[in-house]
Structure 1
Amino acid sequence: MSTVSPPISEPDPSTFACPSGDKIGPCGSCQRKTWKYGNGGSPLCQWCMGPVQQQWGTTVRHKNTRSQLTPPGPTG
């Protein structure tokens, strides 16, 4: 991106569109507040995602590398 990013203290604009405050977390690169969790979230703020998309293309997505936990079955 050719635009200069604002100071880290300024949140990513995605935080204003986030439906719930509990889905906001730090950017994985610069630690700026961003809509990180849930549907529509991204692990990077728009300023950190820009260079990544330039390198890898606009279809780049975050891949979940966490193992899927199985909920415990009924007891008894």
Structure 2
Amino acid sequence: MTTAPPPISEPDPSALVCPGDRVGLCASCQRKTHKYGSGGCPLCQWCMAPVMERWGPGVRYVSTRV
């Protein structure tokens, strides 16, 4: 059973444990998440979950930064 995500005003838990300069908005729902730097992801955990179900745990994104 999956739980419903909290309101968008609530940040992703990853945003609470990373430095403030690495926090950005989720590319899908615009929730604050750990987006930049090492360990960052463009999607929050709730938006990433259906992507991982569809593509598997090996899903990756291509960085546009050098």
TM-score (norm 2): 0.91
Size of the alignment, in residue pairs?
66
Residue by residue, what CA displacement relative to the aligned partner does 1:2-41 show, whole Å, maximum 9, x if unpaired? 22000000000001221x1010000000000000000011
Residue 16 (str. 1) matches residue 16 (str. 2): yes
- Residues 63, 4 of structure 1: alpha-carbon distance in 2 compared, 3 angstrom cutoff: same
RMSD: 1.5
Secondary structure of the structure 2 residue equivalent to 1:25: strand
More helix by share: 2
User: Runs of 4 or more off by more than 6 Å in structure 1?
Assistant: none
5 Å matches for 1:10-49? 10-18=10-18, 20-49=19-48
Structure whose CA Rg is larger:
1
Q: TM-score, normalised by structure 1?
A: 0.80
Unaligned stretches of 5+ in structure 2?
none
Give the fraction of aligned pairs with identical amino acids, expressed as a percent.
Answer: 61
